Amino acid sequence: MIILGIETSCDDTAISILREEQNTLTVLSGVISSQIKLHAEWGGVVPNLAAREHLKNILPLLELALREAKISPAQIDLIATTQGPGLIPALLVGTTVAKTLSFVWKKPLLGINHIEGHIYSNFIQLSAEQKIDIVRFPALCLVVSGGHTQLVLMRDHLQYEIIGETLDDAAGEAFDKVARLLNLGYPGGPAISALAAKFKPQNSEFKIELPRPMKISKDFNFSFSGLKTAVLYLVKKNESLLTDEAFLAAVCHEFQQAVVDVLVHKTLAAAEKYNTKTVLLAGGVSANAQLRRQLGEALAKFDPTITYTIPEAKYSVDNAVMIGAAASYRWNQMTAEQKTLLADNWRKIETNANLRLN
Ligand code: KG4
Ligand code: ZN
């Protein structure tokens, strides 16, 4: 079957066309128009500006995606769109386009949770056999993005229990806010990890220590706002050093390591408690090389039988391929009657800024 995926929950307009055959996905096209430059001026995403850009870009991107995939509208079997969570003005553009196409082209329509999309970004590159070998249940997903930090227990496909989440800032949000304090621009994650890589402990005159908030709390929740505040105090005390690359590298390294330590520690504790067979990493922060590596190493040491999957870097951050991937799983688990009902979803689907996984 051919799936058209649409994603506009934040500052990326993204369209994908996937072919699903015998539980194996082939990406026919995945196009993205990023608005990073526009929002960088404001230090974060401005919802109405994002919506305006989505409106400008979405139909040309759709045309491009169809052309690259060599697919005509008549060949599409299912349309999938991000329904939430996200910024309402931004979400409305994608869902309205999806509903219009569903109505005009007479195609079934599925609303997908953006977080579910991130989780299923892990399944894009796996063959049908790998999916069974590598992903075993109960599975634990660490979802770390600009808007969310959650530990999600999956007892089976499409079944979610949120066992922990951030009480304040998301991990990606902390990267973005700390980058702002250090004048590194938006988004912060890539800038901080690039500077952190330049840190040489043996040569550095700076020994910086930041807290690991809630690392040893008994639950699986997180808190990153105290860490950000600790960086704020550090910056206030050392303003003259903000142009010193060695200082910035030392701060970025310690900040990144603090976030990674907490995420790895909590994920391992949850894996132990819930007897997890697989750990999946997902969301924009899963593009972070240190997090990818250190979580993998810690899991291998803790229990080498646990399988560990990470999305391809290009599918870590927001994209529409992951939305199509999640939709293919939803579709394959539906009865014929449930599938028929999707034809009417253009009337029913509503955006929801705070949509929860369930
Ligand atoms: O999933 P995503 O693209 O959008 C949301 O759903 O929020 O995640 C974006 C977040 C941003 O906060 C960005 O700073 C962070 O992911 N990010 C990273 C890296 N690349 C992106 N954080 C740490 N290290 C990275 N390499
Ligand atoms: Zn996202």
pLDDT at 55: 98
- pLDDT category at 130 given cuts 50, 70, 90 is confident
How far does residue 146's CA lie from ligand 2's centre (Å)? 7
Reported as a pLDDT band with limits 50, 70 and 90, residue 337 is very high
Q: Minimal CA–CA distance to 5: which of 37, 24, 32?
A: 32
Closest among 216, 211, 210, 213 to 269, alpha carbons compared: 216
Question: Whole-model pTM?
Answer: 0.96
- Measured between alpha carbons, how far is 29 from 3 in angstroms, rounded to an integer? 11
How far is 177 from 165, CA to CA, in rounded Å? 19
Atom 2 (ligand 1): residue with closest C-alpha? 284
Cα(276) to ligand 1 centroid in Å equals 26
Burial of 101-139, coded b for 16+ CB within 10 Å and e otherwise, reads: bbeeeebbbbbbbbbbbbbbbbbbebeeeebeebbeebb
Q: What is the b/e burial string over 302-326, where b = at least 16 CB atoms within 10 angstroms of the residue's CB?
A: eeeebbbbbbeeebbbbbbbbbbbb
- In this prediction, residue 270 carries a pLDDT of 98
Q: What is the pLDDT of residue 128?
A: 79
Residues 6+ apart with CB under 8 A from 76: 2, 3, 4, 17, 105, 107
Q: Which amino acid is at 268?
A: L
Please give the mean pLDDT across all residues of the chain: 96
Asked if 98 and 110 count as a contact pair (C-beta separation under 8 A), the reply is: no
Residue, of 125 and 192, whose pLDDT is higher: 192
**In this predicted structure, what is the pLDDT of residue 301?**
98
pLDDT of the residue at 41? 84
Distance CA 272, CA 266 (A): 10
Among 11, 32, 285, 290, residue to substitute to test ligand 1 (most atoms within 8 Å of Cβ) = 285
Are 231 and 158 spatial neighbours (Cβ–Cβ below 8 Å)? no
Tell me the two tokens of residue 337.
């009657």
Ligand 1 site residues (CB inside 6 A) read 10, 145-147, 172-173, 175-176, 187-190, 193, 283-285, 287-288, 317-318
Ligand 1 pocket: which of 11, 317, 321 to mutate (most atoms <8 Å of CB)? 317
| Dist. CA 23–CA 203, nearest whole Å | 51
Nearest ligand to the C-alpha atom of residue 316: 1
Q: Give nearest CA residue, ligand 1 atom 10.
A: 146
Percent of the chain with pLDDT over 70: 100
Distance 160 CA to ligand 1 centre (A): 22
Distance 147 CA to ligand 1 centre (A): 9
**pLDDT surpassing 90 at residue 132:** no
- Could you tell me the distance, in angstroms and rounded to a whole number, from the CA of residue 139 to the centre of ligand 2? 20
* pLDDT band of 84, cuts 50, 70, 90: very high
Q: Looking at the chain, how many residues does it have?
A: 358
In the predicted model, is pLDDT for residue 67 greater than 90? yes
d(CA 28, CA 324): 11
| Rounded percentage of the chain residues whose pLDDT exceeds 90 | 91
